[in-house]
Amino acid sequence: MLRAMSACLAAPFPIALVQALVVANWPKDGMGVFEHPSSMFLAMYVLVYVFALVIGVPLFLVARRPRPVTVRFYALLGAAALLTPITLSLVWTALQVPLSPFVIGYNLLLFGFGGLAAGALFWRILRPDRHVVRAPAAAA
C-alpha cells in the first residue's frame, strides 16, 4: 500500500519539473501562474492528477485483463492518459482561434513524453512484476 501511495505521489514529478524549469528559464511577465516556477510546478502536479483520475484510472481498469506488468504498458498508459485530454483541448482551441505549430508541438511533446515518464516512474516504484501471483501447477 505504501508503494502504491508513493508511486502516485511521485509519478507527476518529471513533467512538473520540466514545465517549472521552462517557466524559470523563459519568463513571461504578468502571466500569473505562468510567471512563477513554483506555482507552475504545483499547477502541473494538480493537472496531471486530474488527468490520471479522469482518464488514467479508467484506462487501467479496462486494460488490466490480462494485466501486463511491463514498464512499456505503464508508460504507454501514462502517455495516453495525458495526451487524450490535451489533444482534445488543442483541437477545441484550434477550432476557436488559430494556434501556432510551436504551441501544438510543445504541448504534445511535453504531455506525451511526460506521460511516458510518469507511467514508467509509477511502474518503477510500484514494481507490479514482483507481485504477480502465479497459479499453482495443476497435477496431471
Residue 135 lies inside a defined structural domain of this protein: no
Question: What's the pLDDT tens digit per position in 97-107?
Answer: 998 999 899 99
Residue 67: per-residue pLDDT? 66
pTM of the full predicted structure? 0.77
More confident residue, 69 or 47: 47
Q: Is residue 118 within a helix (H) or strand (E), and if so which, with residue range? A: helix 101-126
More confident residue, 117 or 35: 117
Alpha helices in 64-100 (DSSP H): 71-96
Q: What is the mean pLDDT of residues 35-39?
A: 82
With bands split at pLDDT 50, 70 and 90, how would you rate the model's confidence at 5?
confident
**Dihedral of CA 19/22/24/29: which sign?**
negative
Which backbone phi and psi does 23 adopt, to 5 degrees? -65, -40
Residue 137 lies inside a defined structural domain of this protein: no
Contact between residue 99 and residue 93 where contact means Cβ atoms under 8 Å apart: yes
> Distance between terminal CA atoms of the chain?
37
Chain-centroid distance of CA 95 in Å reads: 25
Residue 140 lies inside a defined structural domain of this protein: no
Residue 138 lies inside a defined structural domain of this protein: no
Enclosing domain of residue 16:
2-130
Residue 18 has pLDDT above 80, yes or no: yes
Residue 76 lies inside a defined structural domain of this protein: yes
